[in-house]
Amino acid sequence: MKKWLSTLSVSTLLLSSLVGCAGGDEPSGQAGSNKTAGNAAGGKVTIKLMQFKVEITDKVKAMADEYMKQNPNVIIEAQVTKDYETLLKTRFASGDEPDVFMTKAYTDIADWSDKLADLSNEPWMSKVSPSAVQGMTVGGKKLGFPIAFEGYGFIYNKDLFAKAGIDKVPTTLTELKQVNEKLKAANIPSFAEGYKEWWILGQHLFNLPFAYEKDPVATIDKINKGQAKVSDVAAMNGFFDVLDATLKYGKGAESVGVSYDNQVADFSSGKTAMMQQGVWTIDSIVKINPNLKMGMFAIPLTDNAADTKMPVGVPGYYVINKNSKNLEESKKFLNWIHDNGQKYLVDSFKLIPAFTDLKTTPDLGPLAEDLSAYVAKNQTIPWAHTLWPSGTNQEFAKPLQAYVGGQMKKEQALAEVQNIWNARKK
């Protein structure tokens, strides 16, 4: 999921600007082998599908082929591409509009909302997990079909925790400090955070205080209107407490030179007990250490355990073009995907389901299992960074990195964040 960051911005809520799980270097491809025959054959319906998860191109093709076998009157013409946003806009501009395509949550889906069909009354909508609803709702209409959940927190090494005498994960700032002190007493470094990467610091970690607001949308709107400042966010001090802890019990100022790859390698090889990352790291961890016993817990910013929740977002939603000539057939296709979601979304695509009637399997690994537990208890917060002014997440990393490196004090870093916000807000 490292590569989904560019998609994760809403994302985070998730999803848009997140760096995580998407990507790959596979070429774009066409899924659905009967394209020519389908267009030439009378009476057949062609559904044009676009999506950006290129790493599952072959699996999307297999799903499309199965649908066409069961529905011989339909051709699924699926395009999976890396240069997604540009191509999507080009196709709409040229009149070659897809019937079904992917969007990210919040800002992205809102930008496309005037072209999207209302899916509020579809039979599967009642099965959508509550945490996935807000990011696809515009003007009271539910416009998306969530393909998965992604989330992040502190991933931890269970054996190292046990070695340090830690028998439960922390749920408050005080408990987090106690965990770090126990690890220190056992000569186990807590962290080696990858603050060289803008998204780890300026997006994921800095997302937390905004996401912990009672109403992140209202708070961010106030900041945009000049009615509040970034420094007014209630959990901002908690953010710096956690950031300081990762430095004190980690590599200190040197953290600004630690890359994502080094962060994951140090954790996977047992050099550190924790790292701030998400479910997308599972494959990289297992490749380095297939026997590592790990889990993931939400990062606390206060001393109230009830506040502590996990940032969970949907990296992409299927949506339907409301002007599609095959609107009902497209709805039928999404209904079929839900009905076969355990087979394709979970077992084949290896995604964490965003539907209450689909279940996480052991094959998805312990990080997915822990994330799903937070979702099941509705202990989640959004990827609020997707609500920030466009492009600010990458810019915010600069003053925060300067703070990590000791070039800026807390007040200076926040003042610079505010300047960036003011310059980029609409």
pLDDT, tens digit (0-9, with 9 covering 90-100), for 247-300? 999 999 999 999 999 999 999 999 999 999 999 888 889 999 999 999 999 999
Does 33 score more than 60 pLDDT? no
pLDDT at 296: 98
Separation CA 110–CA 70 (nearest Å): 34
SS3 379: coil
Separation CA 408–CA 392 (nearest Å): 19
Residue in the block written with tokens 């990352």: 277
CATH architecture of 151-312+389-424: 3-Layer(aba) Sandwich (3.40)
Note the CATH number of domain 9-149+314-381: 3.40.190.10
pLDDT, tens digit (0-9, with 9 covering 90-100), for 102-118? 998 887 898 899 999 99
- Vertex 86 angle, CA 39 and 204, to 5°: 125
Residues in the chain: 426
Structure tokens at 110: 């809102």
pLDDT, tens digit (0-9, with 9 covering 90-100), for 177-233? 999 999 999 999 999 999 999 999 999 999 999 999 999 999 999 999 999 999 999
Residue 26 has what DSSP assignment?
Answer: P
pLDDT, tens digit (0-9, with 9 covering 90-100), for 56-98? 788 899 999 999 999 999 999 988 887 788 899 999 999 999 9
Domain with CATH 3.40.190.10 in the chain: 9-149+314-381, 151-312+389-424
pLDDT at 84: 86
Q: Which helix (H) or strand (E) holds 143?
A: none
Structure tokens at 53: 């998860």
Does 306 score more than 70 pLDDT? yes
Separation CA 12–CA 384 (nearest Å): 7
| Percent residues over pLDDT 90 in the chain | 71
